[in-house]
Structure 1
């Protein structure tokens, strides 16, 4: 009987694989691109927002933190809702909400409205993005799924780099005197196009084993993230008041309570928000740690590089955005080649990507330290390009690896956990290594950058060795695993 069920399920997966076309994959990726880009596009616009709305330093921090915390806290819930109520339905509804929130951001008359709109933007992004990975996992099989997952990983990295580039271009263009507002308003026409096309070509899917909403787990998990990320993001600018330390201690307690509650729910036969058994799968337990580490270093790099170019080298928003262009171009080129190279060389391709990234970062640090303060953007182009090429390979491979062992009917939960760890890592990188940079910058910008990047290089070196613990791609991506809960 079990054999018959597995055969039937495999037949259904092969039949469904044709339901999502290559163009459908691109449309879903476009929908995911906007929310990811919006986390980074604001970095280069903060001086313009400050000048326009006369915002305080802590308010400017909240413009970024409000989005990031809402995004990270609700991602797993977004995956669960898509599994239960339909991924296309939730994708389209969340995209409408994201477009409206972007419009509210672009038209915000004051910083208070902007912060609230950013929180709504982050919440709708959290409902939208998990549907992309879950739809890939449910409708594609074998190499088609592997390629789509690699493209998603590439899209995430490209969106981060392009965010700062596009942000610099739009702010410098000062279209009709609107200064920073186009960085949000640009989402409106793009979002509408994606919405109209996705409604016609993206197949409607939902989990074959829908489960209830885990309200205790959802509340505890969101509270844990808020208690962790808010003080880490706001603490430095506010001088680390007592309540920031209290929240950090509370985050530890809430994390422990969340684990106990989720484990008890699973023992009762329920499917909690974050099933401990799912997190114990080899691809999840190992891959998620590596995604978190990679994202901490990546988020910190994007943040401190933007500050180094704008504050240290006194480049304007346009040149600050253009400085990252070599990295963006090679990240894109590497992402196109990554699926084929990973399929052929497996984990060795990821290790090679980590080594390339390590070499690029070391070269970039040497250029900045030796030539400071007379560093041209051209001098940084080659090391940035090498860094981007390495990042693309490592990023795509990690995303492809994490979901390898996840059962199809838990795709939404696995996707939500993956993106939550990625988003949390980006925020942690800014909050920790970014804070280290800000503290050291008054004593020398180049050495502050170098110190942060030495830590970043240590993370990348560990990843170069750690990829050996990941599942073998050639053995696990040729099929969609059928595992019952």
Structure 2
């Protein structure tokens, strides 16, 4: 295939879709890849439990807090420019993580990673929203949803493989250094084939709204992530109370800003669109359950079953394979069966989670990876259907000139859900595990099953899907 530069600003080459997705893959994977490397990081840098949690929390807080700002900056200054600049920053931050001499430097570099990821990711969805139409847009959005889920699963798999390989005695460091060559290739190719688009009606940055929103997320995520390891001191509860006050203040400021004719960071009118109001709630709930599952499963396999990083990563392989296969079929099935396909995917996921809990509880402590493979495959297949449909539906009603704001809000809710899922259900698991790992796992997954059951019902409230995608070959995306 000969790659040519797009002749029109609104034209995105099919290969450009692939490289934009590759650029999005790395930051999403990096949220999960650290889970299986924490014991190795602890041994290498002599980090405290609180410091290890900050390695994850620092990335997640910076990522979630700046996502909407990233979408706004792309709308105003050009999405390709922001994508390339943020990707270059992400590569440098990854290099700093891989070379970090102390845990303090690693935490700082992880925060920089999260910040650059927040500027990068919204440009992908906004570019799809602005340059693609009809079937191609639907296909690209579905592939983005698949990429997000696959990156999460592959993160733990690749993390386990790289840590166990201990390349040249470097231990955990390759999980960050691997981003450097991949990121450079994406950077060079994307600079040539991705069109530089921006909103025809750019608006200024909402400074007050940005600060309030970032402060709200920080005041929520830090206590929930750090509270368990610190023993829930009084200031943690005070910070959560402050978060509630900040959330109210953010809403009032944004509402007043929109009434003055400005476009705030999170326009209340945009969030009231049917696709946004319904879809974002479901994306948040799905992400909370998904993030908690990935975190708790990794702990259950490594700490509970005493598997090494390699087997901890390989344990998730059946889920990754079925998620990938399901993601390839999801757009066609959703195009044919509409919202019913999402509900069916949720039911399949519930069946897999219930079977997995049964295996863990009944066979403990002699649970084999083979016994968990079938249930995990069901989980992955069901998730792929639900994930692809949710991401496709959220931006359905968003005006093109607010594509960056809409996509930023979407991924903010996704990332916030992932982090809050780890902080809440992960904390529940850590509190119950000393009294029995299998029952702690069963308790957390019972909550996860309830969440997915609500999503199965809620899928009927999403906008109807068109049937065009069902007949479009994958190569045309």
Q: TM-score range by the shorter chain?
A: over 0.9
Contact 2:19–2:186 under 8 Å retained in 1: yes
- C-alpha offsets along residues 302-358 of structure 1, whole Å, 9 cap, x if unaligned? 000000000111100000000000000000000001111111111001000000000
When normalised by structure 2's length, the TM-score is 0.96
For residue 444 of structure 2, the aligned residue among 437, 452, 463 is: 452
Structure 2 residue aligned with 1:265: 257
- C-alpha offsets along residues 428-484 of structure 1, whole Å, 9 cap, x if unaligned? 000000000001001110110000000000000000001111010128999xxxxxx
Contact 1:262–1:274 under 8 Å retained in 2: yes
For residue 98 of structure 1, the aligned residue among 87, 90, 95 is: 90
2:46 is equivalent to residue 54 of structure 1 = yes
CA RMSD of aligned residues (A): 1.3
2:134 is equivalent to residue 130 of structure 1 = no
TM-fit CA distance, 1:36: 0.3
Equivalenced residue count is: 464
Structure 2 residue aligned with 1:147: 139
For residue 283 of structure 1, the aligned residue among 264, 270, 275 is: 275
Structure 1 residue aligned with 2:76: 84
2:372 is equivalent to residue 372 of structure 1 = no
TM-fit CA distance, 1:16: 5.8
- Relative to structure 1, is the Cα distance of residues 468 and 16 closer, same or farther in structure 2, using a 3 angstrom cutoff? farther
Structure 1 residue aligned with 2:324: 332
2:231 is equivalent to residue 215 of structure 1 = no
- Relative to structure 1, is the Cα distance of residues 475 and 172 closer, same or farther in structure 2, using a 3 angstrom cutoff? closer
Q: Distance in 2 between matches of 1:53 and 1:205?
A: 43
Structure 2 stretches of 5 or more lacking a match? 1-6, 471-477
Contact 2:275–2:395 under 8 Å retained in 1: yes
Q: Distance in 2 between matches of 1:169 and 1:468?
A: 40
Q: Distance in 2 between matches of 1:15 and 1:368?
A: 55
Structure 1 stretches of 5 or more lacking a match? 1-13, 479-485
Structure 2 residue aligned with 1:482: none
Structure 1 residue aligned with 2:193: 201
Contact 1:404–1:477 under 8 Å retained in 2: no
TM-fit CA distance, 1:262: 0.3
Contact 2:319–2:380 under 8 Å retained in 1: yes
Structure 2 residue aligned with 1:108: 100
Q: Which residues in structure 2 correspond to 1:292-311 (within 5 Å)?
A: 292-311=284-303
Contact 1:40–1:164 under 8 Å retained in 2: yes
Structure 1 residue aligned with 2:475: none
When normalised by structure 1's length, the TM-score is 0.95
Contact 1:403–1:415 under 8 Å retained in 2: yes
Contact 2:9–2:197 under 8 Å retained in 1: no
User: Where in structure 1 do 4 or more consecutive aligned residues deviate above 3 Å?
Assistant: 14-17, 475-478
Contact 1:24–1:198 under 8 Å retained in 2: yes
Contact 2:334–2:389 under 8 Å retained in 1: yes
Structure 1 residue aligned with 2:474: none
Structure 2 residue aligned with 1:3: none
Contact 1:58–1:237 under 8 Å retained in 2: yes
Q: What secondary structure is seen at the aligned counterpart in 2 of 1:314? A: coil
Structure 2 residue aligned with 1:390: 382
For residue 155 of structure 2, the aligned residue among 160, 163, 166 is: 163
